[in-house]
Amino acid sequence: MKPGSSPGQFQLVSRPPPAPNEFETFVDQSLGRRLARFASSLTLPGARGFTTPPTTTVPPDYRLNPGDELIIGVTGSVEANLSLTIDSEGRIFIPKIGAINVGGIRYGDLADAMSRRFADQYRQARLSVSIGRLHGITVYVTGYAASPGAYTVGSLATMLDAILTAGGPSGGGSFRSIELRRAGQLVTTLDLYDLLMRGDKSHDVVLQNGDVINVDPAGPEIAIAGSVNSEAIFEIKRGETLGDVIGFAGGLNSLADSTRLVIQRLADADTTGMRQIDFIAAKDNPAEGGELVRVLSVADVTRPRERQAVLVTIEGEVDHPGRYFMKPGTMVADLVTQAGGLTDHAFAYGTTFQRDSIRADQQASFDKAIDSLEVSAAAEMVSSLNGPIERAATSAPKELAVEQVIERLKQHKPDGRLVLDIAYGASTLPGALSLENNDRIFIPPRPVTVGVFGAVYQTGSFAFNESGRIRDYLAQAGGEQRYADRGAIFVVRANGSVISSRVVRDLRDHPAQPGDVIFVPVRTSSRGWQKLLDVAAIVYQFGIGALTIKALTP
């Protein structure tokens, strides 16, 4: 606590959160992630003022303190407007009346008490009294608080205000047993769970000067994790059940397995380690400190495919495109039949079949490929630094370029396309392929172009000719440029497969197919960073998926 910008104002100095206690550390290690104590979010990480705003309404139960300013208005047989401050003895002094002891009087009783004194001197006088300004009070926060000590807070501050001023309970402090003592007598005990869970603020009383707030040590703790509405570590009291603690966690969420719980306790560490119990029976079991209770989910387990109903989408050249709900084990042929079959313009060979599970596998492979490229690029940079001075001088710009390229590559996401085993010219889809949930099938019309991109003189799409060969479309694009790598030309077919001149002899003489995209790479050396730039150029200009990238990289 430090002085604020005006007299009587104070603000908190930012302090780190309390260190975790031993049970918190045990839970973190068991779960592999952080699980906080319930109510620990009340601890304020930054500065906060505790001065009562000028517009605050003073409650009738407020007891006056030294330093409070009173505004007194008198009308009738005498007229006066007085602004008086209560002195250190709890008194105010009024001319012709004398000293009046008001310290400790309830604000709601103040007007009547002063009217009686005025009536002795001025029988026809009418009196009005209000508080102009409240003075701070000093209270003491002791016990297991994060920062115990003496604090100056506003005259209307409550127990909670003082606790937060002291940084809240420490890692070993209780959120459920905080005592207020006044003149050595216990006034009340505050349970913050009552406030946070039920909105019960009845025990959060207004403080008086010299009050002592003592934070007791934390009681037994139990952790609730998994499919509940609010995972946390909870402090328990005598007589509370496991059902009560799950209620503290907001109860089970919509995905919880309501039939069983898994409990891990230190007492079972040398035997079973964990045990499973029936949820209904467990609700009435007494809660025991040191337990880690896991509420299992019914949604995060993959069921056998033959039990999974699916919702799939089929679009393009079918009679009834749309989304279809299919029973478990449905095949592609069943979906096509339900969609009314393919139209006369359907190009089955070019079908795009996208699947979530394939997208996930592609993403994993893509991430590994990026990691490999980063390692190769780093090795190339080290090699450059160990080489001739001229070579080392050019390494910094290359390194920056490589980093930028890798970052752009990371922004590309796999499309989850499954390359179908289907013959060119086929009029149906592979019917025996079983469907998975969220599959998306698009059957395009027959393409009428062949695309040519890369190191040619004129990139673009050219009208398809039944008799055309790969070399014919290269010629229409002006042929390969001088820096083209003629030995690395590849073609992405409409079905997503790739053929390359590295594995197919005389690729230029192969017949072209509608929807083909021909790419002519730039000739580069075998250096790692140049390979990276080459692959990146293909991705940017060509927009191919991760499966194709894998096929291109050696």
pTM above 0.75, yes or no: no
Q: What is the pLDDT of residues 309-366, one digit of tens each?
A: 889 999 999 999 999 999 888 899 999 999 999 999 999 999 999 999 888 888 888 7
Residue 505 lies in a domain: yes
pLDDT at 525 over 80: no
Residue 376 lies in a domain: no
Residue 257 lies in a domain: yes
Task: Look up the domain containing 513 and give its range.
Answer: 447-523
Task: Give the pLDDT of residue 334.
Answer: 93
pLDDT bin (cut points 50, 70, 90) of residue 46 is very low
Q: Which residue has the higher pLDDT, 534 or 485?
A: 485
* Residues 94, 27 share a domain: no
| The 3-state secondary structure of 276-299, one letter per residue | EEEHHHHCCCECCCCEEEEECECC
CA distance 418 to 283: 48
Q: Which residue has the higher pLDDT, 387 or 201?
A: 201
What are the strands, taking DSSP E only, across 408-534? 417-418, 440-443, 449-454, 460-463, 490-492, 498-500, 517-520
Q: 76: closest CA among 20, 118, 36?
A: 118
CA distance 416 to 400: 31
Task: Give the pLDDT of residue 248.
Answer: 93
The CATH number for 90's domain is 3.30.1950.10
Chain centroid to Cα 377, Å, comes to: 33
Q: Is 358 helix (H, G, I), strand (E, B) or coil?
A: helix
* Residues 234, 213 share a domain: no
Q: What is the pLDDT of residues 49-89, one digit of tens each?
A: 444 444 457 888 888 888 888 888 888 777 778 888 888 88
Task: Give the pLDDT of residue 532.
Answer: 52
CA distance 277 to 249: 19
Task: Give the pLDDT of residue 56.
Answer: 59
Mean pLDDT of 158-176: 91
Number of domains in the chain: 4
Of 184, 200, 217, the last residue of a domain is 217
* Residues 514, 472 share a domain: yes
% of the chain exceeding 90 in pLDDT = 35
CA distance 228 to 257: 10
Instruction: Dihedral sign for Cα 143, 184, 87, 114, please.
Output: positive
Instruction: Dihedral sign for Cα 412, 415, 420, 425, please.
Output: negative
* Residues 160, 22 share a domain: yes
The CATH number for 471's domain is 3.10.560.10
Residue 74 lies in a domain: yes
DSSP per-residue letters across 246-264: HHHTTSB-TTB-TTEEEEE
Residue 154 lies in a domain: yes
* Residues 191, 150 share a domain: yes
Of 194, 217, 240, the last residue of a domain is 217
* Residues 290, 155 share a domain: no
Tokens coding 274: 């964990």
C-beta atoms surrounding 13 within 10 Å: 10
Residue 319 lies in a domain: no
* Residues 141, 211 share a domain: yes
CA distance 234 to 126: 57
Residue 65 CA neighbour count, 13 Å, CB half: 21
pLDDT bin (cut points 50, 70, 90) of residue 8 is very low
In the 8-state DSSP scheme, what is residue 51? Answer: P
* Residues 287, 225 share a domain: yes
Mean pLDDT of 367-371: 78
Of 175, 201, 217, the last residue of a domain is 217
pLDDT bin (cut points 50, 70, 90) of residue 547 is very low
Tokens coding 174: 């209780």
* Residues 128, 142 share a domain: no
pLDDT at 10 over 50: no
Q: 550: closest CA among 386, 372, 332?
A: 372
Q: Which long-range contacts (CB under 8 A, 24 or more apart) does 274-282 make?
A: 282/242, 282/243
Helix, strand, coil share (%) of the chain residues, nearest 5: 30, 30, 45
Query: Which of the residue ranges 127-131, 168-172, 418-422, 463-467 would you say has the lowest mean pLDDT?
Result: 127-131
Residue 382 lies in a domain: no
Mean pLDDT of 470-495: 91
Residue 226 lies in a domain: yes
Whole-Å CA distances, 28 to 22, 24, 35, 42, 404? 10, 6, 6, 21, 37
* Residues 157, 285 share a domain: no
* Residues 118, 142 share a domain: no
Task: Give the pLDDT of residue 551.
Answer: 41
* Residues 210, 249 share a domain: no
